[in-house]
Chains A and B, each alone.
Chain A
Amino acid sequence: MDQGMIMDLIIQGLIFPGLFFIVFLIIFTQWIYRKITARIQYRRGPCYTGPLGFLQPFTDFIKLLVKEDAVTRYSVKHIPIVLASIGLGSLIAILLLTPLSLRPFYGDYDIIILFYLGLWGSFAILFTGLAAPNPYTSLGVGRYMALLVSSEPSFIASFIVPVIIASRFFNVNYSFYKASILSHRLWTIDPFSTLSMILAAVAGFMALMGILEIRPFDFPEAEGEIYWGIFTEYGGPSLALGFFILFTERIVFPLIYVMLFLGGSWPVDITMNYWAGFLIIFTKFILLFILLTVIDNVMPRLRPDQGVRILWKYALTLSVIALIISLI
């Protein structure tokens, strides 16, 4: 490893498109989320802190961070914080594999690394819940486990379809980076690829909703039934880090969806014109985020058994069919 590469790793991991950029995106997306939610509920939403209330999510985040870190006597105290930090690091490191990175790090079969890193955030949330002994927390963890077990297989099976098609026709060797640059061409190779991309896009969207706990799949944190599920016992910095993971997941996974299924930077080639390509990916991501926000606000919540059944029945079936067709 030469010095320039180490500097690139540090700068991209910590500033752009890493930590600093993610913090900015969390503020921006949460502001959008709150404004849209408020409009749907006939409220104004945040409007005092910063222009148009833009800095309200950041203020809330800082408010949580500077609170006393109070945990119950029987909780595990430090390991959830450490695991939450590693989970966040893993989610943010995913962006180094994408075309959003100015000097991306990639290679053959990097899609497997992407799936592996993506799981860390979910495991960190799970462990955070398990570390606090509370009946509602345990219920939340159980429900979250059921949701993950139901949505992760369809997530992986559907998100790997574009990479398989790209590997078969463009010889990208299961590289997520190369597949995401070519993703707009995968829809029109032949009727089979079009069909498998349509099925995988639908199944992937459902799995995405499941992983991100978007309604109707938000039963792990059903406020009216089990208070706050996993985060019932948490407040202050621990809660802030828990939210940090959830909100980072709501940025990283939709970005991957945009890059694999919505054409990435198309109609611009991001390898030729980085900033134009970046703006297009960013715009598509914001549109997808707005769609997810609207769905989250207008849908009712499913019971855990209903949610799990829908994910197994439809999302997994569609993704497996798409996977088989992509291999034909």
Chain B
Amino acid sequence: MSGYVFNQYMLVLIISLASFMVGFVVYIIFYYIFHKLYGSKVRSDSKLKDEIVIHGLKYSEEVLSVPATRIFIDVMKHSLHSLHDIMTKELGTRVLNDWFAWILIMLTLIIVLAMLVR
């Protein structure tokens, strides 16, 4: 009795090829052919296959969607809130924070005015 001796790489290639070949034949014979020849003919349409029944009641599927503006506002609100927390905890008193905030607003105004005047 003889066999085929290969190096590691060639053996991996050949055995992988064989496994894909057998897998393809399994798919064709045991799924595709049976499904095409017979399985597709026994299909029975039933509402139960399309509807989802939960606790005896029909479940209507809602498509949930949120406007992008709502997401943006929500994100900003949460992030600014946490920013406020960080400033109050990290940067000392509330008065100081208010001062920082007012200075920031003032600087922004100056920059905007400067841009408008130019």
Contacts and interface: CB of A to CB of B under 8 A. Distances in A.
B65 interface: no
Contacts of B21: 9-10, 13-14, 89
Contacts of A102: 1
Interface residues of A, number: 52
A66 B40 CA distance: 8
Contact of A92 (B7, B22, B27): B22
Question: DSSP majority for the A interface?
Answer: helix
B72 interface: no
Contacts of B5: 106-107
Nearest to A65: B34
B26 to A, nearest CB: 5
Question: DSSP majority for the B interface?
Answer: helix
Interface size class of B (residues with CB under 8 A): 35 or more
A316 interface: no
B22 A68 contact: no
Contacts of A65: 30-31, 34, 39
Contact of A108 (B4, B7, B38, B42): B7
A117 interface: yes
B15 A117 contact: yes
A136 interface: no
A96 interface: yes
Interface in B35-50: 35, 38-40, 42-44, 49-50
Contact of B30 (A18, A67, A104, A240): A240
A68 B44 CA distance: 8
B12 A113 contact: yes
B18 interface: yes
Interface of B: 1-8, 10-12, 14-27, 30-31, 34-35, 38-40, 42-44, 49-50, 52
Interface of A: 1, 5, 8-10, 13-14, 18-19, 65-70, 73, 81-82, 85-90, 92-93, 96-97, 101-110, 112-113, 117, 120, 177, 236-237, 240-241, 244, 270-272, 274
13 contacts: A14-B22, A82-B27, A85-B31, A89-B18, A89-B21, A90-B19, A106-B3, A106-B5, A106-B6, A106-B11, A108-B7, A236-B39, A244-B30
